[in-house]
Amino acid sequence: MAGTTYLVMRDRFLQRLANEGRSSSTLTAYRIDLDDTMRGVADELGVTFDALDITDVTNDLLDSALAEFRTRPDPRFHTHPERAPDERAPATVARRTSAIRSFFAWAYKTQRIPADPAALLTPPKRRKRIPRALEQGLAGGALSNASSNSQWPERDALILALALACGLRLAEIAGLRLVDLEGDPPTAMVVRGKGDKERRLGLPPVVTEALAHYLPTRAERLTELKLEAQTVIISSRARAVRDREGVRTGYTVEASRESVVYVVDRVLRSIGARRPGIRVHALRHTFATLGLREGAFSLRQLQVALGHASLATTQIYTEVADEEIAQAMRLHPLADG
């Protein structure tokens, strides 16, 4: 069929997703997963990537590409390959499988291909894991020690408060903007989560106090650097902004995910809580686990606070309560007979 080269079809598919309101991060994730898969398929067919025709793609080729991806060394562990897992996580493979299935289902439904080669692809079962969270004492210690040995204590205290007392994701902390704060002084904020879905959260006292200390220092820092920023969290130093050709177009101090991760890792190390699986997202798990355990939230309220699209996603935190019940059963005076 004419006009069925992969790159042409990919761009039309992504345009359809954009028209449906999908976020830019979602579009980027689809493009990366699809491009990487189709490069492997093109190699198997012996054609160049830009000449790949999707009508030549078969179920076997897609299955092979997913198998290669599942066992391919994870580039995140290039400096310490001995720490890399033997296979990609089922959730990662499932996300890629979903992208492939969505793309070919769209191509088939719009009559661009005579059959759907991805229709029989099945995502791997995801391992059920209890979220890793900090104990209440360690969580309190993280909040208390966020300012210790910090070059910008007011900012670091706010980052930890947003993660532990509001349950914000890493991207949500880095992307929170001044215009998202409501009130003067702020009493609420609008958080843009996955898929650009918004939720409104009232600010707990620890966050309003952290903002009161941080915002004046933020204004002073921007004045010193003669820069402006939209994000609430900003970096200590300006970094260059470059276009696609690598040409520097200016400087920015707006928050990056890496800068937020650095702050959280420093605080976790200072209280002896930095270990595998305990990073920024573990603070979100801590917020949810403690909130549910102490009765601060109902399950439905927690779903809204976390910005989960499905209540089933939030229900994973009930597993923590199940573990506590099991421990209590063992401690019962009649447990030993």
Reply yes or no on whether 284 is catalytic: yes
Between β-strands 181-182 and 248-254, what pairing exists: parallel, antiparallel or unpaired?
unpaired
Q: Would you state the pLDDT for residue 135?
A: 86
Indicate the domain borders of the chain: 6-109, 136-328
Q: Where do we find the tokens 């102490």? A: 294
Reply yes or no on whether 169 is catalytic: yes
Q: Would you state the pLDDT for residue 80?
A: 63
pLDDT surpasses 90 at 36: yes
Q: Would you state the pLDDT for residue 318?
A: 76
Q: Which of 117-126, 158-167, 186-195, 314-323 has the highest mean pLDDT?
A: 158-167
Reading phi first (left if > 0) and then psi (alpha if -120 to 50, else beta), residue 176 is in beta
pLDDT surpasses 90 at 108: yes
- CATH 3.40.50.150, domain 136-328, yes or no: no
pLDDT tens per residue, range 140-185: 999 998 888 889 999 999 999 999 999 999 999 999 999 999 999 9
Reply yes or no on whether 308 is catalytic: yes
Looking at 12, 39, 257, 281, which residue is catalytic?
Answer: 281
pLDDT surpasses 50 at 309: yes
Residue 324 or 301, more confident: 301
Tokens of 32: 């990366």
- Contact yes or no for 93/127 (Cβ under 8 A): no
In this prediction, residue 128 has a pLDDT band, given cuts at 50, 70 and 90, of: low
Question: H helices of 131-230, where?
Answer: 136-145, 153-166, 170-175, 205-225
pLDDT surpasses 70 at 129: no
Reply yes or no on whether 262 is catalytic: no
pLDDT average, residue stretch 45-60: 94
Looking at 6, 30, 214, 317, which residue is catalytic?
Answer: 317
In this prediction, residue 202 has a pLDDT band, given cuts at 50, 70 and 90, of: very high
Tokens of 324: 């506590």
Looking at 169, 218, 221, 285, which residue is catalytic?
Answer: 169
pLDDT tens per residue, range 254-279: 988 899 999 999 999 888 877 766 77
Q: Would you state the pLDDT for residue 74?
A: 73
Looking at 12, 194, 257, 293, which residue is catalytic?
Answer: 194
Q: If we measure between CA atoms, which residue out of 60, 23, 27, 28 comes closest to residue 41?
A: 60
pLDDT surpasses 60 at 2: no
Q: Would you state the pLDDT for residue 84?
A: 63
Tokens of 270: 């200072």
Handedness of CA 287, 74, 192, 213 (dihedral sign): positive
Summary mean pLDDT of the chain: 88
Looking at 96, 101, 285, 308, which residue is catalytic?
Answer: 308
Distant-in-sequence, close-in-space partners of 95: CB < 8 Å, separation ≥ 6: 29, 33
In this prediction, residue 218 has a pLDDT band, given cuts at 50, 70 and 90, of: very high
